[in-house]
Amino acid sequence: MKQYLDFTDQVVLVTGARSGIGQATAVAFAGQGAKVIVSGRRPCDETLEQIKEVGGEGECIICDVSNEDEVKALIDAIIAKYGKLDVAVNSAGVNSVKKPIEEQDMENYDRVNNTDARGLFMCMMYEARAMLPAGKGAIVNIASVAGLIADPLMSPYVGAKHAVVGMTKAAGIELAQKGIRVNGICPGFVDTEMTQAWSKDPEAKARVAGYNMQKRPAVASEIATVALFLGSDMASFMNGAVLPVEAGQTAH
């Protein structure tokens, strides 16, 4: 019987893998036999240590996804060493300064969108080029529940994540007949390094967690398992899908 979550001999890239969802996702794929390339703006030593602990194989390539030259170099390095790219999980992202729109500025807008939207687009573009010769592959984009609904005081972030949802759908239908599946995940509030400003404030944490029906934040591994599913052959008939993983936040 086929083991759908066996990624032995597959090459998997995870961006934004230094911490949080990206880190948990990299470890999850490594635990299923994948050769995992983890990427971030800074070294991913902790992630590599966790990969080693589950008996996996990984390496880190530094990359700022808002820089096209670095994105191209990242993909070129993977192809040069491994000759292929089977799965890519685009998890790199930054949060927005919380301000009313009339108090926002273009520096914050550009900082968020250059990574969360433009950076993800460039990653997909080069990942798709790397997968096309083999005629197969899976790309998983980490968006946010803010790509489906709106959070107040975070218009640059909401706009960027809506863009991720749209680009995921567009790329999903464009690449379907070329053997490449593109799907996305819209997590709700996840307790990670990026959300520490809320997590360390009991009132803010309770308020944000209260948006969902389980009344708690997710842990990163709960998002990673969905990425594992979308990267696997279990999701072989999924193209351009965006899955809310938010304990019912958008269902009511």
Mean pLDDT, to the nearest integer, of 76-97?
97
Q: What CATH number is given to the structural domain containing 154?
A: 3.40.50.720
Rg (CA), the chain: 17
Mean pLDDT, to the nearest integer, of 180-190?
97
Taking the CA atoms of 182, 186, 192 and 196 in sequence, report the sign of the dihedral they define.
Answer: positive
What span, in angstroms and rounded, lies between the C-alpha atoms of 121 and 184? 13
In this prediction the pTM is 0.95
- Is 228 part of a structural domain of the chain? yes
The pLDDT-based confidence of 210 (bands split at 50, 70, 90) is confident
Q: How many domains does the chain have?
A: 1
What span, in angstroms and rounded, lies between the C-alpha atoms of 245 and 143? 10
Exposed, middle or buried by CB within 10 Å (0-12, 13-18, 19+), for 84?
Answer: middle
Cβ neighbours, 10 Å, residue 131:
24
- Is 124 part of a structural domain of the chain? yes
- Is 223 part of a structural domain of the chain? yes
Examine the pLDDT at 35 and tell me if it is beyond 70. Answer: yes
Examine the pLDDT at 193 and tell me if it is beyond 90. Answer: no
Strand-pair partners of 138: 87, 181
Strand-pair partners of 212: none
Instruction: Using a pLDDT cut of 90, give the percent of the chain over it.
Output: 89
- Is 1 part of a structural domain of the chain? no
Q: Which helix (H) or strand (E) holds 184?
A: strand 180-187
Active-site residue, selected from the candidate residues 4, 82, 126, 157: 157
Examine the pLDDT at 1 and tell me if it is beyond 80. Answer: no
pLDDT in tens, 45-82: 999 999 999 999 999 999 999 999 999 999 999 999 99
Domain of 86 in residue numbering reads as: 11-243
- Exposure on the CB side of residue 44, measured as CA atoms within 13 A: 31
- Is 30 part of a structural domain of the chain? yes
- Is 31 part of a structural domain of the chain? yes
Q: Determine the Cα angle at 100 with ends 95 and 106, to 5°.
A: 60
Whether the Cβ atoms of residue 38 and residue 14 lie closer than 8 Å to each other? yes
- Is 5 part of a structural domain of the chain? no
- Is 39 part of a structural domain of the chain? yes
Strands 137-142 and 180-187: parallel
Does the annotation mark 4 as catalytic? no
